[in-house]
Amino acid sequence: DGGITQSPKYLFRKEGQNVTLSCEQNLNHDAMYWYRQDPGQGLRLIYYSQIVNDFQKGDIAEGYSVSREKKESFPLTVTSAQKNPTAFYLCASTTGGQDEQYFGPGTRLTVT
């Protein structure tokens, strides 16, 4: 089955630690996205990538970093500089341009 996988489903970290969230897709999509979902705030864009080895900041990129070394993979690192990292993180992909996005199941990160 084609789709997007995110792992792990739940992640717990201590404050001050960096943590990396995984996102893999086998849809052969060019573009990949990371969103943060908080109650009452919808989905806010963290980073996106249109092509391998290239990515752009979204609206809330501060405290996050990404890499796109392979077409299939777009990991997100939540750094210790992110002031409020506890959230639900969603990865998405699309063929590119303006076609609809396909979403992964999400990772719920809790930082204490």
Binding site for another protein (CB under 8 A): 31, 33, 35, 40-45, 48, 50, 56, 58-59, 90, 92, 96-98, 100-101, 103-106
Nearer to another protein, 35 or 74 (CB): 35
Residue 39 half-sphere exposure toward CB, CA atoms < 13 A: 1
Q: What is the dihedral of CA 5, 101, 48, 8, to 10 degrees?
A: -20
Toward another protein, which CB reaches closer, 27 or 31? 31
Least spacing, CB of residue 38 vs another protein, in Å: 10
CB of 74 to another protein, least distance (A): 14
* Nearest in space to 1 (alpha carbons), one of 30, 26, 32, 37: 26
State the minimum distance, in angstroms, from the CB of residue 23 to another protein: 13
* 78 Cβ contact partners less than 8 Å away, ≥ 6 residues apart: 18, 19, 20, 21, 63, 64, 85, 89, 109, 111
C-beta of 50 vs 67, nearer to another protein: 50
CB 83, min distance to another protein, A: 21
